[in-house]
Amino acid sequence: MSRAKTVYRCSECGAEAPKWMGWCTVCEADGTLSEEIVALAARPGRSFAALAPPSVPIPIAEAVGVATQPVATGDDELDRVLGGGLVPGSVTVLGGEPGVGKSTLLLQALASIAEGTAGRGATCLYVTAEESARQVALRADRLGVSSPSLWLVAETSLPHVIAHIDALAPDVVVVDSIQTVHDPELGSAPGSVGQVRGCAQRLVSEAKVRGVSVVLVGHVTKEGGLAGPRVLEHLVDTVLAFDGERHHALRMLRAVKHRFGSTHELGLFEMGEAGLAGVPDPSALFLADRQAGVPGSVVAPVLDGQRPLLVEVQALVVPSNAPTPRRTAQGVDGGRLAQVLAVLDRHADLDLSRAEVHVAVAGGVRVPEPGADMAMALAVASSATGRPLTSDLVTCGEIGLGGELRQVHRTERRLAEAARLGFARAVVPRSAPDAPATMRLHRAGSIAEAIHHQAFQVSAA
Ligand code: TYD
Ligand code: MG
């Protein structure tokens, strides 16, 4: 009896090695090689070389434009992130933690495409390899999805999936998820690096040949990267990341890689009873429950990608006898907060060594940018002194280690968004550009100057 042929595959980069080694010779990762069985005749490289017809050269002018026209899905937030919609023949991976709403987003998007809300209706196929058809049907029922051009099949075998694509000739196919489909010809176990890579490769070539848009759901690892081989990201055209705080309804969609457009767009959704709803005016949403006139609350116009958002940064400073009083940061970076507190102590005479400091961004938003430094500092100072800031005020700017204020990029765009929502004053670094006509700027050179600016402080009640 002949022994099955095995190779050792790196779980990081997908490279194969003929024998086991402690590290991968291609990407140099440690301990990532694991054994995988391969049927010789079905080695992906060989079978594809034999199956695929030779390509035909065409003048590039014929290809330009035609190939990359996106087709709108009709879901405004998804279309915004995709730069218009799904490009025929492209492959997109949607990654995100379990329960974030990947299946919901794609089922809704397929329904919208199938119903033709964005123009003509198209044939769509939803392949569920994770849940049963009944589970998906229950979700569809909840979402009120019942388009006759949206087809559903529960299938985990890739050759069968491709046979369904052959039979139905859909315009868009969703495979939920790439980790749970498998190709028996590949030999290795479902979910293994070799399977994920092989199945993705096969789907990419099918998408290109047929001009069908394929969307793959991808699981993510604990670190937030896509599970499976690193090459998955290289194989596909677009990688979208879907995330949100577990206890909030807000969901954010971003392009991590996008062959057909920008990776700077942000899509915002709210998960509700009837699925995901787009949030066209996030600033208004984030500020809806704000209580003006409370010490420790400051509004900051921040940028997520290209999208300006107004968020409320809150601070609570309370006395503490603990040797190392607590500091918590929610929605802002803990290291950044520590730095801002150190600057306040050294350059603004605000002694917080005997105080607990909590800083949070309301609404489950994450603000990983330095533009929120000044809001953090003013919120902490306001809470520590018990003096609220005037309610029509916003602030944005970075604080340097010397206590100096620095302008952050696209300040004009941020201030315009604040003015649109009726904010009439802004505290900004000295070098900041002029404000919209309806807004008064208070310029400050240092954080001490900003904090002691009387113009926008309301005296303690
Ligand atoms: P799901 O799309 O199954 O997430 P994923 O595919 O990323 O694992 O959605 C998961 C959560 O969303 C689930 O906990 C229930 C919730 N949900 C709603 O709150 N409202 C809805 O209308 C739907 C369909 C789901
Ligand atoms: Mg799912």
Query: How does pLDDT run across 85-140, given as a tens digit for each residue?
Result: 999 999 999 999 999 999 999 999 999 999 986 556 799 999 999 999 999 999 99
The residue with greater pLDDT, 306 or 132, is 132
Rg of the chain on CA atoms, in Å: 26
Chain-centroid distance, C-alpha 165: 29
Indicate whether 461 pLDDT > 70.
Answer: no
> Ligand 1: does its nearest atom lie under 6 Å from the Cβ of 96?
yes
Which ligand 1 atom sits closest to the C-alpha of 139?
A: 24
Model confidence over 251-279: pLDDT tens digits?
999 999 999 988 888 899 999 999 999 99
- The angle, 0 to 180 degrees and rounded to 10, between the axes of the packed helices 193-210 and 158-168 is 10
What separation in Å is there between the alpha carbon of 100 and the centre of ligand 1? Answer: 6
User: What average pLDDT score do residues 338-349 get?
Assistant: 95
The residue with greater pLDDT, 52 or 447, is 447
What separation in Å is there between the alpha carbon of 247 and the centre of ligand 1? Answer: 13
Tell me, yes or no, if the pTM score tops 0.95. no
Query: 118 phi and psi, to 5 degrees?
Result: -105, 30
Residues 28, 31, 32, 35: is their CA dihedral positive or negative?
positive
Ligand 1 pocket test, pick from 100, 103, 104 with the greatest ligand atom count within 8 Å of Cβ, gives 104
For ligand 1, atom 1, name the residue with the nearest CA: 101
Q: Measured between alpha carbons, how far is 161 from 167 in angstroms, rounded to an integer?
A: 10
pLDDT of residue 460: 43
Indicate whether 41 pLDDT > 50.
Answer: no
What separation in Å is there between the alpha carbon of 188 and the centre of ligand 2? Answer: 24
The residue with greater pLDDT, 63 or 88, is 88
> Ligand 1: does its nearest atom lie under 6 Å from the Cβ of 18?
no
Residues, CB-to-ion distance under 5 Å, ligand 2: 103
| Token pair belonging to 195 | 């399977």
Model confidence over 203-213: pLDDT tens digits?
999 999 999 99
> Ligand 1: does its nearest atom lie under 6 Å from the Cβ of 102?
yes
| Token pair belonging to 359 | 């800083």
Cβ pair 240, 86 in contact under 8 A: no
pLDDT of residue 247: 79
Which ligand 1 atom sits closest to the C-alpha of 98?
A: 8
| Token pair belonging to 325 | 């009083």
Indicate whether 388 pLDDT > 80.
Answer: yes
Query: 460 phi and psi, to 5 degrees?
Result: -60, 140
Which ligand 1 atom sits closest to the C-alpha of 96?
A: 7
For ligand 1, atom 21, name the residue with the nearest CA: 275
User: What average pLDDT score do residues 413-423 get?
Assistant: 92
> Ligand 1: does its nearest atom lie under 6 Å from the Cβ of 244?
no
Share of the chain above pLDDT 90, in %: 63
Q: How many helices (H) and strands (E) does the chain have?
A: 13, 21
Residues 373, 378, 383, 389: is their CA dihedral positive or negative?
negative
Model confidence over 159-202: pLDDT tens digits?
999 999 999 999 999 999 999 999 999 878 888 888 999 999 99
Ligand nearest the Cα atom of residue 176: 2
Which ligand 1 atom sits closest to the C-alpha of 242?
A: 7
Indicate whether 30 pLDDT > 70.
Answer: yes
Model confidence over 368-387: pLDDT tens digits?
899 999 999 999 999 999 99
Which ligand 1 atom sits closest to the C-alpha of 100?
A: 7
pLDDT of residue 276: 96
Torsion angle, alpha carbons of 212, 218, 224, 229, to 10: -90
Indicate whether 330 pLDDT > 90.
Answer: yes
pLDDT of residue 3: 60
Which ligand 1 atom sits closest to the C-alpha of 143?
A: 22
Ligand 1 pocket test, pick from 126, 219, 220, 271 with the greatest ligand atom count within 8 Å of Cβ, gives 271
